[in-house]
Amino acid sequence: MAKTLLEVKHLKKYFKVSAGLLHAVDDVTFTIEEGKTLGVVGESGCGKSTLGRVVLGLLDATDGEVYFDGKETTKATKEERHELRKDMQIIFQDPFSSLNPRMTVKEIIGEPLKIYGLCKTKEELDERVAKIMETVGLADRLAFSYPHELDGGRRQRIGVGRALALEPRFIVCDEPVSALDVSIQAQILNLMMDLQEQRGLTYIFVTHDLSVVKHISDDILVMYLGCMVEKCSSDDLFDKQLHPYTKGLLAAIPIPTIGAKKERVMLTGELSSPIEPKPGCRFAVRCRYAKDKCFTENPVMEEVLPNHFVSCHYVREINGLD
């Protein structure tokens, strides 16, 4: 049986704003097995990037627990967090703003190695950096280039190389291909999948692009305004969506076939506010199946089908599962 590397329990992250508390992540629970990828999807503002940052400890959790390899990390000291960085890394969305414009490719990738003192000599450092550059597909001649001299694909390869420098076990990929052209996206995705196979890496892959998440994920978690609404295997999600919001998301994916017909599920209405949200389902105002109960009681995540979890009062009725 595969080993569980990451376990998240009832994780919450609230931000204090002038109008009250903004519930960016609200009671999220999941596990990831070693060597697997959990895709986290949803519209912009649903809290998926915040979730990744809280899991890593880049943002402090308001409540809940995160266990990495059996150890609770949300209350880790500064020294413990420093050690955890070796095993837990992040690839940022924007491959330009996340890189120091005053540093060369060689310096950016070598910085983590210097911080942790993993190379005793300059020659050893140069050798390690050259090996990482080769691994992520960066030519030796680019070692002394600056980020602004390179295209988006090469910049993102630098970000991947920096994340790999400490040989981590777990990486949060925060929309790592959303700023890239489609052909470059495929190259970066294939690189990440190859690295996962070679090194046994575990990923949280944050994206709003469902076609991308299908390509790389073992399991998928769908979020809406900070809450989990559906979680299952990638194959199950694309075969049978159970939550009305997930149905709408997948219906929006264009079919690359002339004359192909597809049922459209229109999501209408305005998003409810994540600031001091009222009791009830947060998707209710946009849901065509909503009833009185949906506006007064919070739905709970339940296993509707084997390993297929949904948060919806009427999920069985909607999908004819009674």
Q: How confident is the model at residue 254 (pLDDT cuts 50, 70, 90)?
A: low
Q: How confident is the model at residue 178 (pLDDT cuts 50, 70, 90)?
A: confident
User: pLDDT at position 100, please?
Assistant: 92
- Dist CA 50 CA 48 (whole Å): 5
Q: How confident is the model at residue 79 (pLDDT cuts 50, 70, 90)?
A: very high
* Fold of the domain built from segment(s) 4-245: Rossmann fold (3.40.50)
- Dist CA 289 CA 91 (whole Å): 38
Give 280-303 pLDDT, tens digit per residue.
999 999 998 999 999 999 999 999
Amino acid making up residue 20: G
Are 109 and 132 in contact by the 8 Å Cβ rule? The answer is yes
pLDDT surpassing 60 at residue 260:
no
**Mean pLDDT computed over 93-103:** 88
Which positions ≥6 away from 108 have C-beta within 8 Å? 99, 100, 147, 158, 161, 162
Q: How confident is the model at residue 261 (pLDDT cuts 50, 70, 90)?
A: low
Phi/psi at 20 (5° precision): 135, -150
Listed residue (162, 233, 170) closest to 200, CA to CA: 170
Q: Is the pTM of this model over 0.85?
A: yes
Q: What is the mean pLDDT of the chain?
A: 90
Give 180-202 pLDDT, tens digit per residue.
788 888 888 888 899 999 999 99
User: pLDDT at position 45, please?
Assistant: 86
User: pLDDT at position 257, please?
Assistant: 62
Which positions ≥6 away from 38 have C-beta within 8 Å? 30, 32, 203, 204, 205, 217, 218, 219, 220, 221
**Mean pLDDT computed over 128-132:** 94
**Mean pLDDT computed over 170-181:** 86
